[in-house]
Amino acid sequence: MKRTLIVLGLLITLAGLTTDARADDGYRLWLKYDLVSNPQKLRDYRTSVRGWMISGSSRTIQAARKELRNGLNGLLGSEIPEVDGIGEGNILICGTYRDNPLLRGIDLKDKLEEAGTEGFVIMTGKVGGKDAIIVAANTDIGVLHGVFDFLRLLQTQRDIGDLDIVSFPRIKLRILDHWDNLNGTVERGYAGFSIWNWHTLPVFIKRRYIDYARANASIGINGTVLNSVNADPLILTHRYLVKVAALADVFRPYGIKVYLCANFDAPITLGKLKSASPLDTNVRKWWKDKADEIYSLIPDFGGFLVKANSEGQPGPSDYGLTQADGANLLADAVRPHGGIVMWRAFVYTYNPKDRAKQACEIFKPLDGKFASNVLLQIKNGPLDFQPREPFSPLFGAMPKTNLMMEFQITMEYLGQGTSTVFLASLFKETLESDTYAKGKGSTVAKVVDGSLDGHTLTGIAGVSNIGADRNWTGNEFGQSSWYAFGRLAWNHDLTSKQIADEWIRMTFSNDAEVVASVERIMLESRENVVNYMDPLGLNMIFGYDNHYGPGPWVDWSPHPDWNSTYYHKADSLGVGFDRTKTGSDAVSQYHPPLSAEFASLTECPLKYLLWFHHVPWNYQMKSGKTLWDDICYHYYAGVDSVREMQNIWNSLKGKIDKQEWNDEQMFLDIQEKEAVWWRNACALYFQTFSKMPIPAGLEKPDKTLEYYESLKFPNAPGTW
């Protein structure tokens, strides 16, 4: 009996271990091909897809074939055979006109012309008199994109009875920027170390590299910058280029090109030249020879990304030359190979009157002076990835230059890896902003996709939040912003709600309650963080060396514009940065009537009020409250909203995978504590200037300002 009990106990223990082992750890991202949960939908799908075929033999088609097999078998719960003919019908037919003769009998000319080189067509129709679903494209990569999109329809349990889809990317270059260092660390990285193991490359190819390519291809990303913008010149040595070539070979079937960040001083550090000046013929030859070497190893190498003359990085200004001179130097080297240069506009000098004006002051005079294969890569706002900024005035100010958007997917200033923040709303807010460059409707999106000024070389970049954590992004909700970036890069007309709906269904569940509840969390999450960090246009009030927590009191940096006090300007009279004509006049960098709207204290959008105006503490807001009370209510609303996020998530226990639910519950617990920390620290600090009480009825801080000022985080992720 005792032995029986021991064996029974062991079996129960093993069963428990097995259950835990099957818990979802987030590795599969949004590519979960689990059985369709809706019985009626499952029956419909099984009826509509009794078999499938895909034509062609390239590595890209082989990748699509594998995705189809795994996706259909998993979603439909049985082996769906690959067939070689239409048979009795209800077959999924995938391919190009070139490779699939069955498609040549269908009138797809106009649709495929619209789809272009990377897009696809998905439609229901008759083939040989039999019902079929068709995934057609002009190229193999278009077929792969179409396969992923069709599987997405099944994952999100959409109707596939009457399909007529033409989908194509609005922006040519859709790129992830990795801030990964060669030593395995990630600058501002909050999901562990780098996913690239440079030591074991080029021989050891981790499965993770392939799954990375799959995930990116599934949302339309077609490029990746492998290393940090603070570039180590060693990445351009032959030893590392061979490793880069190995990754390029992994990514190639998925339509993803590799790019590298180049250090402007590489001719000096690697080539032993005495100068890196664009006017030096030896320097020009060094870059040409280096480009020839790279392309001999990686024929489809995308090109270079460069950070120059910013935060200590070398650049053309060191030689009295312009940023265009520097960009064109590298552009000339890669042009014969079809390469491009992405030149970052994140350039500023120390001790400025208003750092938010500098990019426009430096680059606007250079409009039309950049080579045709250069894109100027501009951060979404004038400063530095703040929780909320107005769009950079460079969008709409340089019609003769290829302009490229740079978003941050990693949340350097948004709570980092511990917070739940869905960034689609930030991306959309920027893209939908109207520059008025050519009148009303001249949105940032139209600048970025080239339609406003007639550019065909267009791009958008997202600073990656991917690391070595098993679930890729640390906090699994970080995956949603990666997903959103790719989907918006492909089609910026999608709404935040549409993207959230897709991601929730593919990641957690198609259950209506789960979708509605998690969607509410996601769509409100960014505004919640803005409220408890930077309400009403406050910005750059973070800790000095890690951007982790609040530091509105920071005033000890030798560089004034690295101090929080430089940005909020709090004094006994009020708070906020005067960027009107009585201040820095940054409003003049925007086109009218937007410039007039921003300049008006009464007309300025409340979300940008303290960005553009120094406002008295007792100023009466449209809400009827004083500015001081309004700031307090925003800080407190931010905390209350995080607590509501916790309540919503807790209500979903048992409806979401246990491990995923537990992980997010713990992260929300961290976020609630951090929100209270932000609220208390900022309210107490600004109160020293306003001399006004925290409004009655609001929870009073339980610690002193001195306590919050004393906190140190020497080993926080992202510490300099």
Residues annotated as catalytic are: 311, 384, 412
Half-sphere exposure of residue 114: CA atoms within 13 angstroms, side-chain side:
8
Burial of 62 from C-beta contacts in 10 A (0-12 / 13-18 / 19+): middle
Rounded Cα–Cα distance for residues 360 and 380 (Å): 13
Query: Edge-to-edge strand order for the sheet containing 120-127?
Result: 51-54, 91-96, 130-137, 120-127, 164-167
Provide the total of helices (H) and of strands (E) in the chain, helices listed first.
22, 15
216, 486 Cβ separation under 8 angstroms: yes
Which alpha helices (DSSP H) does 508-573 contain, by range? 512-533, 564-568
At 5, list the tokens. 């009990």
How many residues in the chain?
Answer: 720
Rounded Cα–Cα distance for residues 449 and 493 (Å): 12
Cis peptide before 605 (omega within 30 of 0): no
458, 402 Cβ separation under 8 angstroms: yes
413, 379 Cβ separation under 8 angstroms: no
At 606, list the tokens. 């409340």
57, 23 Cβ separation under 8 angstroms: no
Rounded Cα–Cα distance for residues 455 and 400 (Å): 9
- Closest to 48 (Cα-Cα) out of 100, 88, 18: 88
- Cα(first)–Cα(last) distance of the chain, in Å? 63
Return the bridge partners of 126, or none. 131
SS3 of 555, please?
coil
Residue 533 has a CB neighbour count (10 Å cut-off) of 28
Rounded Cα–Cα distance for residues 558 and 351 (Å): 9
- Closest to 213 (Cα-Cα) out of 178, 170, 169, 248: 248
